[in-house]
Amino acid sequence: MDHTNTEKKTKPVAPKVKELITNTKSVILATVDAEGTPNSSYAPFVQVGNTFYILVSFMAKHTKNLSEGRKTSVMFIEDESATKQIYARERLTLESTTSQIERDSEVWNQVVAQLKETHGKVVDIISEMGDFILIALQPVKGSYVNGFGSAYFVDANLEIVEHRNDANHQSK
């Protein structure tokens, strides 16, 4: 008897997206310039709600790309030294919109205080430098991977939408 259409599919255990973010101190940034040339970098961050904030120097190429609202991808990834399998590092990649936060606004002051609490007194120094700006990274959608065959779509609220089981890994 064929039970393929009547069997209940086992739903995967929801991965720990928020735990990965909590255990990460910096985010990897992928941006593009006006000509579409890609640029990658990183920045320490803090999270407020579902928004990530970074304090970055306008002298850096990625900062100009971020401040001009171009396409941005951010990635949180498990430390190499902590992974059991280098090909299957836990990671969260998010498409994000960007916006610059006005210096000395209420949001600026709250986020800079949180950055200092999280990353130390160096934030006092760099936040006073005129070339450093505060950027908000607002997730749109993304993907989370926590092992082979364990990939998920993520929504703007950093919640799992569904298991990415549409393509099976096959051996040659």
- Please return the burial class of 64, using the count of CB atoms within 10 Å of its CB with bins 0-12, 13-18 and 19+: middle
Give the amino acid at 171: S
* SS3 at position 19: helix
Tens of pLDDT, residue by residue over 109-119, are 999 999 999 99
Give the model's pLDDT for residue 172.
52
Q: Which helix (H) or strand (E) holds 91?
A: strand 91-101
What whole-number distance in Å separates Cα of residue 44 and Cα of residue 24?
9
Structural contact between residues 44 and 26, judged by C-beta atoms closer than 8 angstroms: yes
Q: pTM of the predicted model, to two decimals?
A: 0.85
Tens of pLDDT, residue by residue over 63-78, are 998 988 878 999 999 9
Higher pLDDT, 139 or 148: 139
Give the model's pLDDT for residue 165.
67
Tens of pLDDT, residue by residue over 112-145, are 999 999 999 999 999 999 999 999 999 999 999 9
